[in-house]
Amino acid sequence: MRAKRTAGRPRSFDETQVLDAAAACFCARGYKATSVRQLSVTMGIGGASLYNAYGGKRALYAAALDHYCNRSLRERIQRIEAACSGLAAIIAFFEDIIARCTQDSERKGCFLVNAALEAAPRDEALSAAVSAYFAELRAFFRRSILAGQASGEIGNAVDPENFSAHLLALLIGLRLLARCNHDRVLLEAALMPALQRLRSSNA
């Protein structure tokens, strides 16, 4: 979901840096607990510039979420699919996620998952956007399963539709679990049964 931008003079700031800062601020504090003043300080721009550029906190939240998903979700999928496919792509994806979880010392979690919990239930447009991002993740898992079946490394007994939904739920669960305990051993143990199912499906 792209936030509607207000017309006006060109940006006088680096938008990538500003949206990175806004996403980090919303992710750490949540939508409700984040004030415009906090955003302004974190982003390094004045409150007037914030409103002129994005139209307010709600629109900035949507823009920051879209920016986060472009740089995190979509770039990760593109990078992995450019390097590998099938089961290797699924493993690489979750290895990357677990690494991010263990490096998240402040336990801010995933902005997308946080948005699904806090903002989406009370905002129809945000709910649709979050659902669309989750659908992109599920589509990646589905493509990877189908590629693995085409290569023979994943058995046809695995239903791509059902198991891609399972992997999506597992991803969300890992991200939430890591908010409380980001121990690598625990996260890998939670992932292991799904990978074992895929590896053994062609036996």
Name all domains of the chain by residue range, CATH numbers in brackets. 68-200 (1.10.357.10)
Q: Would the pLDDT of 97 be above 90?
A: yes
Q: Which amino acid is at 64?
A: A
Secondary structure (3-state) at 104: coil
Which among 118, 122, 133, 111 has a CA at the least distance from the CA of 22?
A: 111
Residue 77, Cα to own-chain centre: how many angstroms? 11
pLDDT tens profile 82-96: 999 999 999 999 999
pLDDT tens profile 151-199: 999 999 999 999 999 999 999 999 999 999 989 999 999 999 999 999 9
Secondary structure (3-state) at 8: coil
- The pLDDT-based confidence of 11 (bands split at 50, 70, 90) is low
Tokens matching residue 155: 């058995």
Q: Would the pLDDT of 10 be above 50?
A: no
